[in-house]
Structure formats: structure tokens, C-alpha cells
Amino acid sequence: MAETTTNAAQAKLTVIIIGCGRVAEKHLKAISKLDNLELKAVVDVNPESAKRLLGSVKGFANTKVYSDYKAAIDEVKPSIVSVTVPSGLHFQIAKYAMEHGSNLLLEKPMTMSVSEAREIFELSQKTGLKIAMGHIYRYLPIVGLVREDIAEGKYGKVTHGTIYVRWGHNEAYYNSAAWRGTWKSDGGALMNQTIHAIDLLVWLMGSEPEMAEAMIARRIRNIEAEDLGMAVLRLENGALAQIEGTTATIPSKHMAEFSVFCENGQLSMGLDSGKPHLNIFTIRPDGKIKKLNGYYIRKQFKTGGLFSYKCALNPHLGIYKDLSEAIIENKAPIADAYAGFSSVDTLLGIYKSAKEGHPVALPLKDDFTTLDMTGFFD
């Protein structure tokens, strides 16, 4: 069973981080700010990476370092295993951790194949262990409030939604680790950079994808997978979603936005070179258009206080808090195991459609993996 240590004041949930690269620093910063979490160890096959990570946030210099994740899980028996290794390794580590009684903070994408994602989802159902996915956009301020209102029908019927993720990455980024941009361990701009935006859009629109049609291209980056992808989804409620995801844009000018359009309103949120923007409008019964930005900002402050705005700077803070509450109160995290499975299924449906040149029905009936895309651009 997973270990929970106690100090004088409260029970703490023990955590280990497996994989000490770029994203692990966001995890460590989040853990350092939450009193009910206790980091017991970090794991990396490269001890220098572990050292660098522990030196990046004050107070962790003496944390135990392992190079073998199985030894760390077996000895520490942590309540939470944070999986921050290259995506192609998520499945084996997530499975081992759950089979040994740990809850997961699992980075996106959950796995690289539909069958593996289903297995991890079913394991969480069977064991009752919680999985919070690294789907950071669900944890941004205001998003949850807007979703509740859409779900309650305050904006009427959802017609369609759009996202663009123009998250430029240059060759230096792709060369920084051998797994980046490969079909086996990463996928391209859609699977890596766009998956959490797709997850968010579908979640906001309140229905599951039933059809995907897509094209992908490799325009300028020297990688195996796509640096540009465009797709259309049809959801079970009949609404359409349009997706653009790319890393073939200027790295210092990151842009991302999602919009949802409804019978009685529309909303857009996004980032442009680090600057956030928000536009939420509704049509009142008298036909007048009302901007609701102020309403949501005040409501967020009342319900989530400053903490929710801190999550805008590091959404992993929100994920860890949510996961802790989910474990203690035995409830589902906001970005749960189903979200992990469903987004992988949608992404692989998009790849399958691009490969086969026709729309594909979702959820996929047969297994499909990113490896099935090998040689696509040759």
C-alpha cells in the first residue's frame, strides 16, 4: 500500500517524480507550494538531470535520487507517482506504479496507443486509484466556471468550437532530446503540443468525439512526425470542432486560443506572446449583447481566490491540489483517467484519418498507435 507520512499538523501525501527534465521543474515548484505534499525521491536515468532539477527549487537539495523507477516505487511506496518521462515510457511506468498501489500525476499524452490508454483507464477503475492528467488548460482560471455554465445550458445549444496552438519550436528544441518528434516516443505537434487544447475544447463543448477527419504535414522542422496538423471533429451532440496545431511558427511568438460558439453566446480565451486575452459575450433575451469578462473574473476570485490566478502561471499547482483532494475525498480529478484515454483515442483517430485519407469513427474500434504512422512522410 502507498505510504502517507504524518507530521504534527496533518497527514502528508508522499510523492516521487520519475523523469527530471523540462516539465519536472513545474511539478517540483508546485509540490514546494503545497503543504500537504512531501517529495520523497526523484528518479532519472541521468543523475545530472536529477541534480539539476533538485537544485532548481530551494529546499530539495538532499532529496533521495534513484536511477531505477521500480526500485524507487518498491522502496518508497509513494502515494503519488508523477510520471514526467518521454511519452513513449508513460505506459510501462504508469502501469507498474498503479500495480504497486500508487496514484498518478501522469503527463500527457497518457500513452502512445489506444489499447494501452484503455488499459491504464481500466486499471484506475478497477483499483480506485486516481489519475490526474497533465492537461494543464483545464486548470486555468475561469475555464471551469464557463464549462459549468455551458453544461447547464446558460448559453443554449453549442454550435461549434475552434482551437489553434501555434507553439513554435525550433531545431534546438527538437535536438535537445532524441525522443522529441519521433513516432515511437512523442508524435508531432498534434500529439505533443495540441493534445491538451483538444481535450479542453471537447470538455467545454460537453460531448464526446464521434468522427475525425484530418491532414498532417511536415513543413519545416527536421523531425519524423508532423509539425503541422489540421483536423475537424464531429461530436456526439452534433457540434463541430476545428483544430490547428503546429510547431512550425516563430518560437518567441507562441499563440494559442480556444473559442466555443453557442446559440446565446460565444467565448474565446487565449495567449499571444505570453499576453492572455478573454472575450465572453452573451445575447440577452432583449437581443442586447453583454460582455461577461468582469462577471467571470469576480466569480473566479470569490470561489478560487488568488490560488486560481497562481494556477495561470503554473497550472501544475492546480493539478496537484486537485489530485490531493481527489485522493483524500475519493472523487475524480478534474482531468481524470477518462480524459487521458479519450484524448489519446481522439489524437490517434486524427492520425489514422490523415494516414488513410478518410474520416474515421471514434472511439477507434481497433488498436492504433503512433508507430502505425512510421514512414508516413517518406
Ligand X SMILES: NC(=O)c1ccc[n+]([C@@H]2O[C@H](COP(=O)([O-])OP(=O)(O)OC[C@H]3O[C@@H](n4cnc5c(N)ncnc54)[C@H](O)[C@@H]3O)[C@@H](O)[C@H]2O)c1
Q: Which residues are near ligand X by CB under 6 A?
A: 18-24, 43-46, 49, 69, 84-87, 89, 107-108, 134, 136, 177, 192
Of 20 and 216, the one with the shorter C-beta distance to ligand X is: 20
DSSP label at 337?
H
Give the residue with the Cβ less far from ligand X, 155 or 203: 203
Least distance CB 43 / ligand X (angstroms): 5
CA dist 140 and 130 (Å) reads: 21
Closest CB to ligand X among residues 167, 296:
167
Q: Is 378 exposed, middle or buried (0-12, 13-18, 19+ CB in 10 A)?
A: exposed
- Select the residue whose beta carbon is closest to ligand X and give its number: 21
Element spanning 152, H or E: none
Distance of closest approach, residue 368 Cβ to ligand X, in angstroms: 19
CA-nearest of 289, 283, 231, 235 to 262 is: 283
C-beta of 121: minimal distance to ligand X in Å? 17
Residue 292 or 373 having the CB closest to ligand X: 373
Of the pair 200, 233, the CB lying nearest ligand X is at: 200
Q: Which residues 6+ apart lie within 8 Å of 37 measured at CB?
A: 12, 13, 14, 15, 31, 80, 320, 324
Q: Give the single-character DSSP code of 15.
A: E
- Least separation in angstroms between CB 127 and ligand X: 22
CB neighbours of 10 closer than 8 A, spacing ≥ 6?
35, 36
Residues 349/360, Cβ–Cβ less than 8 Å: yes
Nearer to ligand X, 139 or 368 (CB): 139
Query: Cβ of residue 10: shortest distance to ligand X, in angstroms?
Result: 28
User: C-beta of 207: minimal distance to ligand X in Å?
Assistant: 24
- Closest to 94 measured CA to CA, from 112, 79, 108, 106: 106
